[in-house]
């Protein structure tokens, strides 16, 4: 029985690709660093920010990398006109888990400040706790996040699952001794690594619900908060 659900954010709960690409283009422009705009695709989203910058501009030096990272934070972190979208059915699924007394957590490589902005924007306050890459002042891996969540809340590993759209999500789940479910609606065109490392893969939120929630009572008075 699964009682504890740990979710990735980008590419799993929200589709932020358009927003992120716009902000990266502005960040490079402000740094006066020319780029091949064909590299600005959703396939680069997922790793920590400096790694994404290197995917866009492989030859970038440390000084310009730091400028772009700083510019991106200033643009993205405070963007009140964020055009990201939550994936269809995901909000309802999260609400159902919460109302079914499941424990739900978020583990993301996004920094804390923009993550909290997104939590407010999409009303994602149903999570028991949100773990970000800089939650404790220094970068942590998702394996560490999962282990911290399990230790803090006294969770059973056999009742815990990590859900994400990147191979790193399910690989970290395996390293932490929990199940990993790969979702196929997120970023990246080649999903072979995700598929090969997942305990289960799902194509839709409905399939995710059917895979994980067969024990959830269907008779609860399920209400989506307004």
Q: What is the pLDDT of residue 214?
A: 57
Instruction: Identify the pLDDT of residue 217.
Output: 42
In 3D space, the residue among 192, 194, 2, 8 whose CA is nearest the CA of residue 97 turns out to be 2
pLDDT in tens, 95-115: 999 999 999 999 999 889 999
Residue 222: the pLDDT is 46
Residue 220 has pLDDT above 80, yes or no: no
Tell me what the mean pLDDT of segment 183-202 comes to: 92
Note the Cα 178 to chain centre separation in Å.
17
**pLDDT tens, position by position, 38-60:** 999 888 887 788 999 999 999 99
pLDDT tier, 226 (very low <50, low <70, confident <90, very high otherwise): low
At 202-214, the pLDDT tens digits run 999 999 999 887 5
Average confidence (pLDDT) over 159-174: 96
Q: What string of DSSP letters covers 108-138?
A: -SS-HHHHHHHHHHTT-TT-SEEE-TTTTSS
Q: Are 110 and 10 in contact (CB under 8 A)?
A: yes
Q: What is the DSSP letter of 8?
A: -
Quick check: helix, strand or coil at residue 107?
A: strand
pLDDT at 186: 86
Note the pLDDT of residue 225.
57
Report the sign of the C-alpha dihedral through residues 115, 51, 178, 180, in that order.
positive
Confidence of residue 224 (pLDDT cuts 50, 70, 90): low
Q: Going from the N-terminus, what domains does the chain have, and what CATH number goes with each?
A: 4-15+85-212 (3.40.50.1000), 17-76 (1.10.150)
Question: 184 near 201, Cβ under 8 Å?
Answer: yes
> What is the tens place of the pLDDT at every residue in 171-185?
999 999 999 999 999
Each residue's pLDDT tens digit, 4-31? 999 999 999 999 999 999 999 999 999 9
């Amino acid at each position: 029985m699964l009682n504890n659900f740990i979710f990735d954010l980008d590419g799993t709960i929200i589709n932020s690709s358009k927003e992120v690409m716009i902000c990266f283009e502005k960040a490079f422009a402000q740094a006066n660093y020319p780029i091949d705009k064909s590299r600005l695709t959703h396939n680069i989203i997922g790793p920590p920010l400096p790694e994404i910058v290197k995917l866009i501009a492989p030859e970038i030096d440390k000084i310009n990398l730091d400028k772009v990272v700083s510019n991106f934070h200033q643009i993205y972190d405070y963007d009140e006109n964020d055009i990201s979208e939550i994936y269809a059915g995901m909000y309802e699924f999260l609400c159902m888990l919460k109302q079914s007394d499941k424990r739900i957590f978020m583990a993301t490589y996004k920094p804390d400040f923009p993550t909290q902005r997104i939590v407010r924007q999409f009303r994602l306050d149903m999570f028991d706790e949100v773990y970000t890459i800089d939650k404790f002042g220094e970068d942590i891996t998702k394996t560490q996040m999962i282990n911290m969540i399990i230790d803090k809340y006294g969770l059973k590993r056999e009742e815990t699952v990590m859900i994400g759209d990147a191979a790193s999500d399910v690989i970290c789940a395996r390293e932490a001794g929990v199940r990993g479910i790969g979702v196929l609606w997120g970023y990246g065109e080649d999903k072979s690594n995700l598929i090969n490392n997942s305990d289960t893969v799902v194509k839709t939120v409905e399939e995710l619900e059917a895979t994980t929630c067969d024990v959830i009572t269907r008779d609860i008075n399920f209400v989506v908060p307004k």
